[in-house]
A = this chain, B = another copy of it.
Amino acid sequence: MSTEPGLHLSALLARIPLVQAMQLRLHAWDSGQLVMTAPLGPNVNDKGCAFGGSLASVMTLAGWGLVELAMHARGLDADIFVGESTVRYLQPVWDDFKAVATLDEGATWEAFFDDWARHAHARAQVLVTVPGPGDKPAATLQARFVAKRRKA
């Protein structure tokens, strides 16, 4: 993991109280994927497995972080919002978990940065997966993130 982007993202995350409550950590990042981790303890539900809201939050933050760092790596500064997202909860999660974010099938950074250069506005379709036991994911999120010029 490149340290400086990690510090940039961690500084942003530190401003979100729920991130502290979830004990979310940036685990790894390169231009292709971003991985965040969270312990089960603070993210448990009434049934003893991971709370759906925590899974959705961690996956949303991993997707947001992927876009945030891709822009930061190119020296670009933007407000990045989640627009629409679909979460599939496929298996209960009984342990600490991680969320792995990549661009979704068919999306490219070339198209994203081309839009940004033309319009100072761009959309990225992101896929985030929480791996489960074996090869099957425990949860997935597909989301559209929108980068907008930062308000002064």
Contacts and interface: CB of A to CB of B under 8 A. Distances in A.
Interface of A: 12-13, 15-18, 21-22, 41-47, 51-54, 56-58, 60-61, 64, 79, 81-89, 92
A119 to B, nearest CB: 20
27 contacts: A12-B46, A13-B46, A16-B44, A17-B41, A17-B42, A17-B44, A18-B21, A18-B42, A18-B54, A21-B22, A47-B79, A51-B57, A52-B60, A52-B82, A53-B53, A53-B58, A53-B60, A56-B57, A56-B60, A57-B57, A82-B89, A83-B88, A83-B89, A84-B87, A84-B88, A85-B87, A85-B89
A57 B53 contact: yes
